[in-house]
Amino acid sequence: MTDAEFDKIKKSLKFDAGTGLIPAIIQDAATKKVLTLCYMSERALKATLGEGFIYLFRRSQNKLMMKGETSGHTQAVKEFRVDCEGKSLLFGVEQKVAGCHQGYLSCYFEKIKQDGSKEITDPRLFDPKKVY
């Protein structure tokens, strides 16, 4: 992706004025299951679009990283969308193994019941202690 192509995309987006970040929903391209929500800086978005794999801004570590750089559980971009106001992104991806660092395909593996209790609804795909 050229700088001119990226600048054209960037002009339609509204990164947060304070943080410089924009929320990005990551969804399995085939099943449409939501895998996670992350935040992207301009650098993360440019790397994602340029390399074809999800990059994000890790707020807790204040750094840019490729999703799966530690685990190998990468997310290959298949589709890119933006909401009607340019305030959030949606990526359809091909997920390698799992999208959640706790070992599940999706970070949304817990269902909250009416009584407030939690129910794990998805199988764990890997043991995080063996990966991280």
* Model pTM above 0.95: no
Query: Once rounded to an integer, what is the mean pLDDT over residues 4-32?
Result: 96
As a whole number of angstroms, the distance between CA 41 and CA 22 comes to 7
Strand positions, DSSP E, the chain: 22-28, 34-40, 55-58, 63-66, 75-82, 89-95, 110-112, 118-120
CATH topology of domain 3-99: Ubiquitin-like (UB roll) (3.10.20)
Question: 46 with 1: CB under 8 angstroms?
Answer: yes
Per-residue pLDDT of 72-123, as tens digits, reads 999 999 999 999 999 999 999 999 999 999 999 999 999 999 999 999 999 9
| Domains of the chain, residue spans | 3-99
pLDDT score at 59: 86
